[in-house]
Amino acid sequence: MSTGPTAQAAAAPRSARPTRPPVPPLQEFELLDQTHRAALEMLKDFEQLLAHLGEHGPDETARSSATKIMDFFAGPARTHHADEEKLVFPALLNSSNVELVQHVRRLQQDHGWLDEDWRELAPQIEAIAKGYNWYDLAILQHALPVFTALYHEHIALEETVVYPEAKRARLAELTGRAPKA
């Protein structure tokens, strides 16, 4: 059994740490993160829908899946982007960090492109949801990878660069401390 300095230090009682106020929960970011996870799942469902359509056409499974996809991208996804524009981006656009501002501007541009892409996809998905045969599978097969790639890049930039900065700024605001530059 070792009784050297390391063993003695490990056995010594720790001094009490000062109590600190808990970090306030950032529920708005939890909701934004949940929507990101939902978007990634919905993109997988979209890909599965196209494979299903190739084999089975707009059957009940395809109609149900298309309805779910349509409801998400026309509802929560659009609301999510509006929430980011209102709650996350404004404070960051006032940053002195030029690179951060460029990232936020890119995300704003992505929102426009994602909306534009969705407006092109939506009539096709709506047709499938209603069981119509006039959708064009080739158009969907061409457009979905573009839509999916942009969503993945967009979410990655938000979660790795922009959200951490926005969370720091929000915590500083809630705790009354200036954010670190």
Judge contact between 158 and 170, C-beta under 8 A: no
Give me the DSSP letters along 59-124.
-HHHHHHHHHHHHHHHTHHHHHHHHIIIIIHHHHHT-S-HHHHHHHHHHHHHHHHHHHHHHHHHHH
Could you tell me if residue 180 is inside a domain? no
In a domain? residue 39: yes
Q: What is the pTM of this model?
A: 0.81
* Domains contained in the chain, number: 1
Rounded CA separation 171/176 (Å)? 8
Domain membership flag for residue 181 = no
| Residue 2 placed within a domain | no
Distances (CA, A) of 172 to 111, 160, 175, 179: 27, 19, 5, 5
Q: Is residue 67 part of a domain?
A: yes
Let me know the angle formed at the C-alpha of 35 by 74 and 180, rounded to the nearest 5 degrees: 125
Structure confidence at residue 148 (pLDDT): 98
Residue 16, domain member (yes or no): no
Residues 57 and 112 sit within 8 Å (Cβ to Cβ): no
Cβ contact 145:157 at 8 Å: no
The pLDDT of residue 103 is 98
Instruction: CATH number of the domain at 57, please.
Output: 1.20.120.520
Please report how the helices 76-83 and 60-74 are oriented relative to each other, as an axis angle in degrees rounded to 10: 20
| pLDDT tens track for 109-162 | 999 999 999 999 999 999 999 999 899 999 999 999 999 999 999 999 999 999
Local confidence band at 8 (pLDDT 50, 70, 90 cut-offs): low
Please determine, for residue 169, whether its predicted confidence score (pLDDT) is greater than 80. yes
Q: 78 in a domain, yes or no?
A: yes
Between 139 and 180, the higher pLDDT residue: 139
Per-residue confidence (pLDDT) for residue 106, from 0 to 100: 98
Would you state the pLDDT for residue 89? 96
* CA dist., res. 60 & res. 57, Å (int): 9
Give the range of the structural domain holding residue 165, as residue numbers without chain letter.
26-175
**What pLDDT, in 10s, does the model give residues 36-91?**
999 999 999 999 999 999 999 999 999 999 999 999 999 999 999 999 999 999 98
Fill in the amino acid letter for 132.
Y
124's tokens? 């096709």
Assess if residue 136 is contained within a domain: yes
